[in-house]
Amino acid sequence: MLVLSLLGLLALALSAALSACAVGPDYIPEAAPVPHTFKEMKGWKFATPIDQLDRGDWWGFYHDPKLAFLLKQVEISNQTVAAQAAAYEQARALIREAQAALFPTLSASYTGTRSFSGPATGAAGVIAAAGRHTSTFVPGFSGSWALDVWGNLRRQIESNASAAQATAADLDNAKLAAQAQLATAYFNLRAADSLHDLLVRYTAEYRKNLEIVRNQFKAGYSVTEGDVATAEAQVLATEAQAINALLQRAQFEHAIAILIGRPPAEFSIGTHLLAGGIPRIPVSVPSSLLERRPDIAAAERTMQEQNALIGVAIAGYFPNISLSGLLQWTGSQPAPFNVANLVWSLGAAGTQALIDGGLRGAQVDAARAVYWQSVANYRQTVLVAFQQVEDELVAVRLLKQQLVLQQKAVQDQRRAVDVFINQFQAGTVAYTTVVQGEIILLGDEETLLTIRQNLFLASVALIEALGGGWDTNLLPSKTDLEKDISLFPQLPPNQAGLRLAPPDNQANP
């Protein structure tokens, strides 16, 4: 053990003397193009900090318990989120894998040999010495330590920790995206419920008109058989549209089931109309978007990951230095160890490539190119984020204006249809005038419903574009990621330790 102690002291002294050396550029975040204000903020006011989206539970704005219940299931049982959670666990494991190289490896060995040498014979076949059995036992320890003199291992750990943070942000982004998809499907389903209800109501009105036309035709009024056929066709066409609305509803319900990790056959959701208006969504200054979107955070963390790998590549220019040691006892007894039979060795080695055909230079250039690629990806992610916010801001603003005008159009057309029906019953206009007016009215009603549906979808997209209440404080810190280290072998981790759990048997909403 004396040799191992000497080995450890020598390594620690050398490592401490050179620990400040870590080749490669230190990370400085690259700037991204950030506007001072949003172009489409007309009619909006910037939110104060107290108005910010609640962390994670952004769906509370809609005051819809069923929607809240469904969105919470995404984090529990959505399989895309589960896959991303497993990727995050893998990223954490890679940090520990890189950290393991900072420490010496120690191995124990024990060899036992039993041998026999036969009797020795002399001249004329006389036995000169009897045969004998020999036992040899060689217990020992060996160790080696590749010193991180140039900081390549520390740069690799830095890279892996940044990659784990990026993966954590990807996990939150996957959860946010799945929740936004579910909310979109949910409001589409509610719109399909409303459309079906609208068509059923109009079908009932058309049936009443059909009875009036039939009665007038039988009574000999100025109603033709063609008017009766037109009224019947109008009823049937509206019923067919109502069936198509049910088809759309079923498909949206299936999509929701998949998003919460359930087979469509085991999930159903009750009918409910698309009621109320969209919530007031707080929008802060553009610069805060860099802190509130997980995809931007992931792209920024990827920059540091690739920056650290430049240092790993540059370290290839410098020699690799390692220490090794051996401690053994050789004896004829299994135990105890006999100091008289002690064998030990202590060595240090350094290797340096002298000619490599430009390999190291190419590796450094490649690492720098990948870094600049990550910078471009980061800036593009930021630009797309601003575009998405601008798109949804203008969508919400203009859809609100369109909604007001369309509501007025529906009211005016409703009055026109009432007039046409009265004129038809008085015999002053043909029934085709009523039919044409009702077709326009139903189209206006459907357009009004579509605008309301699009408003809800735009509000969900705006919340997603703003990060859904997420911010960079939710990322795991590098300190937390790097402190999970063990000097001893670990058993396979318990998979139940992941953040996700299998779907429960809660009742359908």
Digit-coded pLDDT (tens) for 344-359: 999 999 999 899 999 9
pLDDT in tens, 264-274: 999 999 999 99
Q: Give the C-alpha separation, 322 to 58, whole Å.
A: 54
Mean pLDDT of 177-203: 97
CATH domain 22-111+149-321+359-484 topology:
Outer membrane efflux proteins (OEP) (1.20.1600)
The string of DSSP letters for 343-377 reads EEEEEEEEE--S--TTHHHHHHHHHHHHHHHHHHH
Residue 500: is its pLDDT beyond 90? no
Give me the pLDDT at residue 10, please: 52
Residue 84: is its pLDDT beyond 90? yes
| Rounded (5°) CA angle 488-491-493 | 120
Return mean pLDDT, the chain. Answer: 87
- 245 closest CA partner among 286, 201, 203, 199: 199
Band (pLDDT 50/70/90 cuts) for residue 47 is: confident
Residue 306: is its pLDDT beyond 60? yes
Give me the pLDDT at residue 400, please: 95
Mean pLDDT of 473-494: 68
Mean pLDDT of 373-395: 97
Give me the pLDDT at residue 221, please: 81
Give me the pLDDT at residue 48, please: 61
Give the global pTM.
0.85
Helix ranges (H only) for 269-358 are 289-292, 294-314
Residue 492: is its pLDDT beyond 70? no
Which amino acid is located at 458 in the chain?
A: A
| Edge-to-edge order in the sheet of strand 105-117 | 105-117, 132-146, 320-329, 342-351
Give me the pLDDT at residue 484, please: 65
Q: In this structure, how many other beta carbons lie within 10 angstroms of the beta carbon of residue 344?
A: 16
Band (pLDDT 50/70/90 cuts) for residue 4 is: very low
Q: Which of the pair, 2 or 156, is modelled with greater confidence?
A: 156
Tokens of 296: 């931007």
Mean pLDDT of 262-288: 92
Give me the pLDDT at residue 412, please: 97
Tokens of 32: 């991204």
Q: Which of the pair, 130 or 114, is modelled with greater confidence?
A: 114
Under a CB-based contact definition with an 8 Å cutoff, are residues 468 and 53 in contact? yes
Give me the pLDDT at residue 128, please: 60
pLDDT in tens, 112-124: 898 888 776 666 6
Q: Name the burial class of residue 117, with classes exposed (0-12), middle (13-18) and buried (19+) by CB atoms within 10 angstroms of its CB.
A: exposed
Percent of the chain with pLDDT over 70: 86
Mean pLDDT of 441-455: 97
Question: How far does Cα 264 stand from its chain's mean position?
Answer: 23
pLDDT in tens, 315-373: 999 999 999 999 998 877 776 667 667 889 999 999 998 999 999 999 999 999 999 99
Residue 501: is its pLDDT beyond 50? no
Percent of the chain with pLDDT over 90: 67
Band (pLDDT 50/70/90 cuts) for residue 508 is: very low
Q: In this structure, how many other beta carbons lie within 10 angstroms of the beta carbon of residue 212?
A: 17
Under a CB-based contact definition with an 8 Å cutoff, are residues 26 and 303 in contact? no
Poorest-confidence range of 13-22, 314-323, 340-349, 397-406?
13-22
Residue 224: is its pLDDT beyond 60? yes
Band (pLDDT 50/70/90 cuts) for residue 182 is: very high
Which amino acid is located at 397 in the chain?
A: R
Tokens of 467: 């990060």
